[in-house]
Amino acid sequence: MSISATISASEWRALKAIDWPKGAFLLAGDWIVIAFSITVFKMLNLWILYPLMVVVIGSRMMGLWALLHDGHHNMLVKSKPLNRKLTEWFIAWPLFKSLAEYEEQHSSHHKYLGGKGDPNFHLLRYEEFQFPMKRSKLISILIKDILGLNFLYYRMLGLVKNPLVIFKKVTQWNFERIALVLVVGVFAVYFNFWQEILLFWVVPLVTYFQFLIRVTLIADHCFANNSESKVRTVKLNWFERTFMVPHNLSYHYEHHHFGGIPSYNLPALQQKLSLNPTYAKASDLSQGYLEVFRKVTKCA
């Protein structure tokens, strides 16, 4: 029986229906939370709250990362040209990502999942993605992510292997992206808010956001025997949804097999798929990230 055999044609139409204002609302909501958290922090001027602010901003960056997929599939707003501009200007570029690069990697990842054509194939061959793993080792890796040490190490390693990598990436930027970077840079220096960019954007990006990227990568595609090419879905609690991975990004099985479904409809899709007895095994359904970590480390 097909995994989606229990879903009727009318139900599929409802699941694929795009709520145009909703995508734009989710995007605006992430940026409002970021702006609000920075404003409150500067008003209170309590540095003891800085780690909390990094967590809030980092989680909204992960929200933007989740919406990058919807933007790629023209699900944010009805106008395709406007959809692409919003995705580039307010999602991809702030995360130092090229939309064209994401589209190429994303398509290959779906097409060659677990194979040599999958962009994650090489990454998942690193020792730190070999499972089962001792829990103490996994905790150590995650702490290094939170502190930004892994980000710095791999970026420096990349520069040593290919000193021109940054130059090559910049030469691929279009005029709009170059103009945006120049304008922001000039304004940051002239109005002296470059420190704010470092504290309120760069630090969350290289610390907590990188931690969340690893958490989702492990949850999505890593298994204890490291030989399965399945995809995992994780149902999150309120804390995980709010301060870690928003916008249903953890419904990764549904995302992989039914890419035309908007992110905000994935929970409804999962609920309908769960009526099929083969779904739970195929999706390796897990309840929260702690359960995932227990699964990939329990045999070590």
Question: Looking at residue 79, what is its pLDDT?
Answer: 92
**218 is a domain residue:** yes
Question: Looking at residue 80, what is its pLDDT?
Answer: 93
The domain in which residue 258 lies consists of 9-297
H or E element at residue 60: helix 50-72
Query: Tens of pLDDT along 50-105?
Result: 999 999 999 999 999 999 999 999 999 989 999 999 999 999 999 999 888 888 87
DSSP, residue by residue, 137-158: HHHHHHHHHHTTHHHHHHHHHH
DSSP character at residue 73: T
**130 is a domain residue:** yes
**61 is a domain residue:** yes
| Count of domains observed in the chain | 1
Which amino acid, one-letter code, is at 297?
T
Question: Looking at residue 257, what is its pLDDT?
Answer: 86
**3 is a domain residue:** no
Compute φ and ψ for 125, nearest 5 degrees. Answer: -90, -10
H or E element at residue 9: helix 9-16
**What does the angle CA 63 – CA 67 – CA 71 come to, to the nearest 5 degrees?**
160
Question: Looking at residue 300, what is its pLDDT?
Answer: 47
Give the Cα separation of 250 and 20 in Å (integer).
22
Give the Cα separation of 131 and 150 in Å (integer).
19
**157 is a domain residue:** yes
Q: pLDDT under 50 in the chain at which residues?
A: 300
Give the Cα separation of 187 and 189 in Å (integer).
5
Question: Looking at residue 228, what is its pLDDT?
Answer: 57
Give the Cα separation of 134 and 158 in Å (integer).
27
Could you tell me if 253 and 283 are in contact, meaning their C-beta atoms sit under 8 angstroms apart?
yes
**146 is a domain residue:** yes
Q: Which two tokens stand for residue 239?
A: 């804390």
Residue of 250, 240, 245, 233 whose CA lies nearest to 285: 233
**234 is a domain residue:** yes
**4 is a domain residue:** no
Give the Cα separation of 257 and 264 in Å (integer).
16
Give the Cα separation of 248 and 246 in Å (integer).
6
